[in-house]
Amino acid sequence: MEPRENTVVKTIPGEKPSGGSEDSLLPKIKRSHPAWRSLRRFARYTAVRVFTLFCTVAVGIYLAILIANMGGYVDTIVEGTIREAVGSQAANNRAVLLMSREDRQAWIEDKVNAQLASRGMNRPFIIRSFEHLLGALTLDLGRAQFLSSDSGSKEVKRIILERLPITMVLFTTGSVVVFFLALLGALFLSRRYGSTLDRIVVAMAPTSTAPAWFYGIFLILIFASILKILPFGGMLGSSIPKTPLMYALTVLKHMILPLSAWVISRIFLAIYTWRTFFLIHSEEDYVELAKAKGLRNNSLERRYILRPTLPAVITAFTFILITSWQGAIVTETVFGWPGLGSLYYQAINAFDTPVIIGTVVIFAYLLALTVFFLDIVYALIDPRVKLGKEGAQ
Amino acid sequence: MRRLKSLFMTLGKYPTSIIALVIIMVLLTVSIVTVITIPYSEARRLWSTSSQAWEDYPKRAEPVWTNWFRGGGSKLPPTIIRSTKDVEPLSVESLGSAGVAKETITEIVFDFPYRVHPSELGLTFDAVFETSAPFARITWITPDGREYQVYDSAIYKRRHSLSSDQPLQRALGTFPLLGLFSSPDETLRELSYETATTPQQGTYTLRVLARTFEAESTLDVKLIVYGRVSGIAGTDHMRRGLIIGLLWGTPIALMFGLLAAVGSTMVTFIIAAIGVWFGGWVDSVIQRITEVNLMLPLLPILVMLGIFYTPNIITILGVVILLNIFSTAIKTYRALFMQVKNSPYIEAARAYGAGGFRIIFRYMIPKVAPILIPAFVTLTPGYVFLEAALAFLGVGDISLPTWGKILNNANTEGALFQGQFYWVLEPAFMLLITGLAFAMLGFALDRIFNPRLRGI
């Protein structure tokens, strides 16, 4: 690679440079190894994405804080925490215990007000809102008002951490299933364009307008209410299984319906969209040329159709994932799946503000991480990221 | 007009879109008829939890038409209502010397040919008096002539439930419904809901002995044998006819879906045009906002908003539109406007000195506007389901009857556990046909307006 690169560069200075900015870039490019250059571009791309995603998380959380604060709910969280601390102080202080009731109340109020002032609660909201934002961004989520974790903790972070893996198991499995099923299905159908199966899938594509929770209701009705072969919901049933194998099997059994609902609600549209990508791309001239060369179907698909469309497929998949993550609240509620979505629903019903805000924070992070992961995959697949803008033109 | 006609001609090539159009037309008609016949305030009143309009309706009753699919033996009883007002009294007697007090004996009869017990049994008293309340002694007579005294007291409240009357249950030794409807060969004491098989068929009689103590005082007794089927759509746990929710859900769902789709798409479109025309920092700010907005957890934020402020549906609609302005569509429209921006007629407009906004609104937007039509239709079902999802989570206006609200009630009341499938299937069916109709029409429109997809 190195000598060839040099010869190319050497011929350029003789010609007229195409643009001013590229002219100034040329000496730098000349010195660096192409692999290094790719890595640098990749790093820059990653840094930009991380920054954008971080901004997204911050905006999402700030929005949540604004919404909650306009009703004065954020301040109640802080005040509640302080009150609890002062209350336990009073209970451990003999001098305070010996006071009359009014004096003790006054002592507590005094302490609470002092603490509130020291925390800057008397400062304008705009300043405090950024402190709340900083707290939320560093996952300092406070203490729950009513809910508690299964282990008995009142810390919002612990409550959420208990639920997070449960949600991850369901939705990661779901995403992987949807991705591979849709990709294989789309390739299969693009080969059999116009067949009966193809027409059926195209006709089924509109069914994806209904979200997973909606299909979930039907699945519960059929498999739990009428056929009675699968559980209505939950994750473990009435008793906790003893052996790890039984545990896994029980979870799997409870996962069948929510997973199916999720796959059904997404699969047809994904197959239809990706099949259309593939079909449009297979009409490109270079594919026709490859066909004319007598390339086998298999390598034609892999190198000439799949390769250039994969970035678009990944982007489409990212949006599927984003919408589905958001739907987790309703889907988990329908199935009683004890993940983050159910926690959010419980928090809503109990009006537990710290948990509500904490869950929104985690949702924001979760969405951003999902998108980041797919962005990295995208960067690895899309040659434009590695080669930069000039390479693509 | 001619363009519209040719559009319909092209649509004719897609049979699914014709079905979709028919469904949408039906839904629109239903919406208009509903809004006219049941005014908004009336719908809210009927749906509110304190409404008395439903007190003669059974709880959790299936739709009447489900009986068509049941054999003669398993048909479910409808609600039977009989009142002493409608029959001539057997005897009227003056009591005492003053001639003011009266004793009236009335018999009301009803036929019960069903092999399934009714769901409840209740009495409603319509008593008119000034100071001394009338008195009633009511006797239940089974088809084979057994008599049970079910009420013997002065009238102190308007409604009296026989099926949950504890003294009556103690007197009968079993649940009043089973005791009063049991066959003669079944010993009462052994009856429970598990062992009771079929009620006795035949003509039941209720003998009402009413005593009034004032000249103008009257007493009418209404017997309500609550059935297990009721109305076209059945009833819920609060006796409300689901039909009200299903009918009123239609205009709400359509309004919400269409307004959200049209509103957000139009604003997105205009913003994309502004971004392209002015370029530079305006464009890049719009792009960055879009990137951020795409990854915001919208549903959790919406739910939070709904919980903390309990906004009405219009406010929710506004917020939904606001949060969906900077959507992926902005990138598609941007690409379109980029092409338009460089076309000669725009340059001509610039040459005569047109300002930026004049060019955007008079020349750029009208040129690409037709592309919006499929977007309006395709995006609608998504918002219909979003509204349903919010209602399902119990967010938003509680007294507004919507499909999502019915599903929410059904879910929290365990309709699926108890086999009340109609309660879930009816709103789900409405949601499904609405969603599918708009989606199918949208797919067809997409192909018509997007020539690249036409052959595929």
The pLDDT of residue B194 is 56
Question: What per-residue confidence (pLDDT) applies to A318?
Answer: 83
* 3-state SS, residue B398: coil
The residue among B139 and A68 whose pLDDT is bigger is: B139
Residues of A in contact with B431 (CB under 8 A): 210, 214
Task: Let me know whether B187 and B256 are in one domain.
Answer: no
Task: Compute the C-alpha angle B82/B66/B20, nearest 5°.
Answer: 125
* Lowest pLDDT segment from A110-124, A354-368, B371-385, B426-440: A110-124
CATH number at residue B192: 2.60.120
Residue span of the structural domain in which B348 resides: 2-47+240-453
For A136, list phi and psi in degrees, rounded to 5. Answer: -65, -40
- Asked if the structure places residue B56 within a domain, the reply is no
Looking at the structure, do residues B248 and B368 belong to the same domain, yes or no? yes
Q: Give the C-alpha separation, B290 to B18, whole Å.
A: 36
Asked whether the beta carbons of residue B452 and residue A217 sit closer than 8 angstroms, the reply is: no
Contact between chains at A276 and B456 (C-beta distance less than 8 A): yes
The CA angle A370-B306-B295, to the nearest 5 degrees, is: 20
Six token digits for residue B193: 């809901």
CA distance B119 to B448: 55
Q: Using the 3D structure, point to which of B226, B250, B270 is the last residue of a domain.
A: B226
- Answer yes or no: do B246 and B296 share one domain: yes
pLDDT at position B222 is 93
pLDDT value of residue B25: 95
- Flag the least confident range among A5-19, A64-78, A377-391, B318-332: A5-19
B298 CB neighbours in chain A (<8 A) are: 326
| For B297, nearest residue in chain A (alpha carbons) | A364
Judge if B285 and B425 occupy the same domain. yes
Q: CB-CB: which of B295, B301, B421 is closest to A368? A: B295
Both B414 and B353 in one domain: the answer is yes
Pairing between β-strand B91-95 and β-strand B101-112 as defined by DSSP bridges: antiparallel
Coil, strand or helix at A184 = helix
CB A178 within 8 A of CB A231: no
Do B389 and A211 make contact, defined as CB atoms within 8 angstroms? yes
Rounded Cα distance between B90 and A364, Å, is 76
Q: What is the pLDDT of residues A109-135, one digit of tens each?
A: 888 888 877 766 767 777 778 888 888
Best of B305, B307, B422 to disrupt the A interface by mutation (most A CBs within 10 Å)?
B307
Closest by Cβ to A360, choosing from B301, B388, B431? B301
Here the tokens at position B151 are 């009420």
Q: What pLDDT score was predicted for residue A73?
A: 67
Residue identified by tokens 């504890």 is B166
Q: Collect all residues of chain B within an 8 Å Cβ-Cβ radius of residue A325.
A: 297
Closest CA to A4 of A28, A25, A30: A30
The reply to whether B298 and B197 lie within a common domain is: no
What average pLDDT score do residues A238-267 get?
Answer: 88
What token pair was written down for B39? 């005014």
Q: In the predicted model, is pLDDT for residue B200 greater than 80?
A: yes
- Provide the CATH number for the domain around residue B33: 1.10.3720.10
Is pLDDT above 50 for A391?
no
On whether both B109 and B39 belong to a single domain, the answer is: no
> Is B92 contained in some domain?
yes
* One-letter identity of residue A318: T
Torsion angle, alpha carbons of B43, B45, B50, B54, to 10:
-60
d(CA A139, CA A159): 13
Q: For residue B435, which residues of chain A lie inside 8 Å, CB to CB?
A: 206, 209-210
CA triplet A283, A285, A290: central angle to 5 degrees? 95
User: CA angle at residue B120 from B116 to B122, to 5 degrees?
Assistant: 135
Same domain? B196 vs B274: no
Chain A CB contacts of B288 below 8 Å: 52, 55
B308/A345 Cβ within 8 A: no
Least confident of A142-151, B202-211, B321-330: A142-151
Whether the pTM exceeds 0.95: the reply is no
In this prediction, residue B268 carries a pLDDT of 93
CA B39 to chain A, closest CA, distance in angstroms equals 30
B235 occurs within a structural domain? no
Question: What's the pLDDT tens digit per position in B24-76?
Answer: 999 999 999 999 999 988 888 888 877 788 888 999 999 999 989 887 778 88
**Residue B406: inside a domain, yes or no?**
yes
CA B153, B156, B161, B166: dihedral to nearest 10 degrees? -60
Share of residues in chain B with pLDDT > 70 (%):
95
Q: Residue B304 domain-assigned?
A: yes
CB B87 within 8 Å of CB B106: yes
Chain A residue with minimal CA distance to B404? A214
* pLDDT recorded at residue A11: 38
- Report the chain B residue with the minimal C-alpha distance to residue A213: B389
Looking at the complex, report in whole angstroms how far the Cα of residue A356 sits from the nearest Cα belonging to chain B.
7
- Residues 6 or more apart whose CB falls under 8 angstroms from that of A20 comprise none
Asked whether residue B269 is assigned to any structural domain, the reply reads yes
Q: Which runs of consecutive H residues, i.e. helices, occur in chain A?
A: 2-11, 20-31, 34-70, 73-92, 94-98, 101-118, 125-137, 156-191, 196-204, 212-219, 244-281, 285-292, 297-300, 307-335, 340-350, 353-381, 383-392
- Determine, yes or no, domain membership for B55: no
Interface test with A, best of B14, B23, B284, B308 (most A CBs within 10 A): B308
Share of chain B above pLDDT 90, in %: 38
- Which of A61, A163, A198, A217 is the best mutation test for B, with the most CBs of B within 10 A? A217
Q: Are residues B256 and B389 in the same domain?
A: yes
Answer with the residue of higher pLDDT: B435 or A66.
B435
pLDDT above 60: residue A17: no
Vertex B163, ends B76 and B159: CA angle to 5°? 110
| pLDDT greater than 50 at residue B87 | yes
3-state secondary structure of A31: helix
Q: What is the mean pLDDT of chain B?
A: 87
Please check the confidence at residue B267 and state whether its pLDDT lies above 90.
Answer: yes
For residues A343-382, b (16+ Cβ closer than 10 Å) or e, as one string? Answer: bbbbbbeeebbbbbbbbbbbbbbbbbebbbebbeebbebb
Look-up of token digits 């798409």: B265
- Mean per-residue pLDDT for A328-357? 88
Q: Which of A52, A220, A319 sits opposite B416 (nearest CB)?
A: A220
Under 8 Å CB pairs connecting chains A and B tally to 139
Window from A382-386, B187-191, B438-442, B445-449 with minimum mean pLDDT:
B187-191
Q: How much is the pLDDT for A82? A: 80
The three-point CA angle B99-B216-B210 to 5° equals: 70
Polymer length in residues for chain A: 393
Residue B431 above 60 pLDDT? yes
Asked, for residue B54, whether it belongs to a domain, the answer is no
- What are A330-341's pLDDT values in tens digits? 999 999 999 999
Pair of tokens at residue B73 = 């033996």
Q: Predicted confidence band at A9 (pLDDT cuts at 50, 70, 90)? A: very low
The answer on pLDDT for B388 being more than 90 is: yes
Amino acid in position A151: S
Residue A6 has pLDDT above 70, yes or no: no
Q: In this structure, are B160 and B303 located in the same domain?
A: no
Query: Cβ–Cβ of A356/B307 closer than 8 Å?
Result: yes
Strands laid side by side in the B218-226 sheet: B80-83, B218-226, B120-128, B159-161
Q: Give the Cα separation of B56 and B396 in Å (integer).
A: 29
Instruction: Please judge whether A348 and B395 are an interchain contact, meaning their C-beta atoms are less than 8 angstroms apart.
Output: yes
Q: What is the pLDDT of residue A112?
A: 83
Q: How many domains does chain B have?
A: 2
* Mean pLDDT for the stretch of residues A286-298: 82
B220 and B369 assigned to the same domain? no
Helix (H) or strand (E) holding B103: strand B101-112
- pLDDT band at residue B451 under the 50/70/90 scheme: low
Position A23 pLDDT exceeds 50: no
Distance from CA of A161 to the nearest CA of B (A): 18
Pick the last residue of a domain from B198, B226, B254: B226
- Mean pLDDT, chain A, rounded, equals 80
pLDDT value for B386: 92
Average pLDDT over residues A3-7: 39
Confidence bin at A380 (pLDDT 50/70/90): confident
* pLDDT at A146 > cutoff 60: yes
Domain C-terminal end among B226, B253, B280:
B226
Domain match, B40 and B71 both: no
pLDDT band at A1, cuts 50/70/90?
Answer: very low
> For A368-387, what is the mean pLDDT?
80
